[in-house]
Amino acid sequence: MTIPSRRSSAIALGLVVATLAAGAGFANSAAGTTQCGIATSSQNGMLALEGTILSPVALSGEYRFAIQSSGNGGSSNISQGGYFTANANEATPLGKVLINAGSNYSVVFDVTAGGQKIDCDQDIASLR
């Protein structure tokens, strides 16, 4: 099949734009493609914090998800971690905690995969 030159130029331009757009939103990436972060939501009157990772390729490694919180109900230190495997193109949760809504908190979320350590402490709305 032969593609007319105008059409092939438009296709090439479209591929370049799609490639640039795909790379523009990645925060804290290993090899520029893995996304990770902390999603927050409300669940039964509590604040839910969930560490999540998304990679275009299958991935395995280790993670650490640690939360310190304090508020009117007291304080807590929660630490989760271990080995994980993540399927390609699937958002994979790596730890989840519920704390009192309105608490002050700090989170450490680190992932090590493929010999690279990724700092995933940033908040995310969602991974797609």
Q: What residue ranges define each of the domains in the chain, with the CATH number in brackets?
A: 28-124 (2.60.40.2420)
**pTM greater than 0.85:** no
Give the distance from CA 34 to its chain's centroid.
8
User: CA-CA distance, 76 to 25, in Å (whole number)?
Assistant: 33
Taking only the tens place, the pLDDT of each residue in 25-54 is: 333 444 458 899 999 999 999 999 999 999
The residue whose two tokens read 């730890």 is 95
DSSP string, 14-45: HHHHHHHHHHHT--S-STTT-EEEEEEEEETT
Handedness of CA 57, 125, 44, 110 (dihedral sign): positive
